[in-house]
Structure 1
């Protein structure tokens, strides 16, 4: 659960990206012909992405200018906001769930819609990241991220990867869904990394703190060993800072005191464990550094509003 990334020990941002592993994945291979328009519903806690293989389309989100997507482009809508895909801005849209779809597997379907005009083909997906580091990172993302093929520093290999992804979705060979999932992992992480590199909004706050040599290391230590009996003094000592300087810098960069961040991280990690594993609550309490199951349950309910048992039942 808290295993470090294979990258350098000081690469705290790399560790956060390392935790971006998808779950709740669902794909649609969409084949459109103008005139067409598709209204996608709100999907809370999900990230939706669109990869354009053939033709072009327009992505419309309320309150934002339409974005034109061309072959090889990748668009990410990180917060599950409802949006529209159209052959031209302002086109009439049919709700996604009102259209017939061909289910090819439990997580994969084909959608065909439109008239007899210009064709557009794309791969669309809805994914979720459950790891607390991933959730924290996703929460900082803008309403949409658009990676244009023409502007991508990886335009040499991106088209080949997109073609490979489209071929796997058409052929449905054994293991094809696993390959598509791994490729989608790469595309989503690359989109997030591109946003971090180019958007000034990504240079401060928690992301900025991850880049700080000492504060980033302290965050990485908390992430790796949430059950350790950390104190403000021991964290400061681990990153070679005085207690007062560490406390002030951590709070200024992260936006909360170090001990509050530790408690929050423990509860988020515990929530992920309850969702993904059948670990007993008493064992989880010990793993998170609590002396008793009752103390852990009280802290968990303060943080989440639910008892550990209720959180597990709701997830199921």
Structure 2
């Protein structure tokens, strides 16, 4: 079972927003997209990534740097640049083809592609929390890794001319770059390291996680999951808790509550129908579990999301009234 694919599918990647810039010194861009992954690729030259409380990070030609949680940062020509940071986020809504943001090209210019992903922050929380704040894929001497080189070549071809379905293709390509970077990091995590991600490389735990993510509505028990993982009940429960930081059924419940929160905010299904979909025979039992996790009843949580969506101009589905 490809557990990482199931977890990534649950995150509901919904494309990316790109901006391309040619930056002559001095220059500085600020970017913060709380909870959403963002990334920068240096296609020529060099830049420095600056974050509060961290050492400046040098980025060179071919490097990709991903901030899975979208932490505030600046990317600029030198650690102590004289440039005043400009906010990159408003400019990222422009068409990539027309987003040459930085001015004249000089031999000292840095060619930069910046992007942020769109996905379900709540569903992504366990994975993002387990990742380091910065993932740095080095360009291996001004030549990016093969998967990144192919992606950049395809990106250059795609944006050279306006073509039908261009935005949809860019969205999928951006998703793939983010996922590939996450996959590379997961593969580098040593087994038995105690990191949540190491569970994905543990055959027993990975099997259990895949079952939970594939059939969250099923009434799983620890003995059933242990049997599927080919471990004794106690060995499975101990290994799961030590590696993932919580017992198997606690993980299952929290995953169900994240799924329910997504349905409450994006669908018109009734609370009772959502309870059924995430494995609860009783709406009352579901409501109690949801309130323990989110500090609000499902109905109150949905009403809050509708209100927040209206305030930000987004659409949140109101609940559908079902016939008695």
For Structure 1 versus Structure 2, the TM-score category normalised by the shorter chain is: 0.7 to 0.9
Compared CA separation, residues 95 and 22, structure 1 to 2 (3 A): farther
Cα shift readout 1:27-83 (whole Å, capped 9, x = no counterpart) = 22223222211222x321111111222332221112222222223221111122111
Distance 1:202 1:150, change over 3 A: farther
Where 1:22 maps in the other structure, the secondary structure is coil
**Corresponding residue of 2:312:** none
Number of the residue aligned with 2:101: 112
How many residue pairs get matched? 305
RMSD: 3.1
Relative to structure 1, the CA distance from residue 156 to residue 25 in structure 2 (aligned partners, 3 Å threshold; closer, same or farther) is closer
2:152 maps to 162
Deviation digits for residues 148-179 of structure 1 (CA, Å, limit 9, x no counterpart):
12179973453242032134345332211112
Q: Does 1:32 align with 2:40?
A: no
Paired position in structure 2 for 1:6:
none
8 Å contact 2:35–2:71 — kept in the other structure? no
Higher mean C-alpha displacement, 201-210 vs 121-130 = 201-210
Q: TM-score, normalised by structure 2?
A: 0.81
Report what 1:284 is aligned to. 274
- Shift of the 100–293 alpha-carbon distance from structure 1 to 2, 3 Å rule, reads closer
Q: Which residue of 2 aligns with 1:223?
A: 213
Mapped partners of 2:62, 2:144: distance in 1 = 11
Please state if 1:57 is matched with 2:47. Answer: yes
Q: Do residues 171 (structure 1) and 161 (structure 2) align?
A: yes
Query: Partner of 2:135 in structure 1?
Result: 145
Residue 237 of structure 1, aligned match among 215, 227, 246:
227
User: Match for 1:186 among 176, 196, 209?
Assistant: 176
CA distance in 1 between partners of 2:97 and 2:260 (Å): 31
Shift in CA distance, 285/18, structure 1 to aligned 2, threshold 3 Å:
closer
CA pair 85-305 structure 1, distance change in 2 beyond 3 A: same
CA distance in structure 2 between the aligned counterparts of 1:279 and 1:173, rounded to whole angstroms:
38
For 2:102, what is the secondary structure of its paired residue?
strand
**Distance in 1, Cα, partners of 2:225 & 2:208:** 6
- Gaps (5+ residues) in structure 2? 310-315, 317-324
How far apart, CA to CA, are the structure 2 residues paired with 1:154 and 1:37? 23
1:271-308 C-alpha deviation (Å, 9 max, x unpaired): 22233333322111111121222321221121112332
Pair 1:210-2:200 in alignment: yes
Alignment partners' CA distance in 1, 2:132 and 2:166:
31
Q: How far apart are 1:147 and its partner, in Å?
A: 0.7
Alpha carbons of 1:164 and 1:44: their partners in 2 closer, same or farther (altered >3 Å)? same
> Residue 269 of structure 2: SS of its match in structure 1?
coil
CA contact (8 A) 1:34 1:114 kept: no
CA separation of 1:253 and 1:186: change in aligned 2, threshold 3 A:
same
* Aligned equivalent of 1:16: 7
Give, in whole Å, the separation in 1 of the partners of 2:249 and 2:143. Answer: 40
Q: How big is the shift at 1:98?
A: 8.6
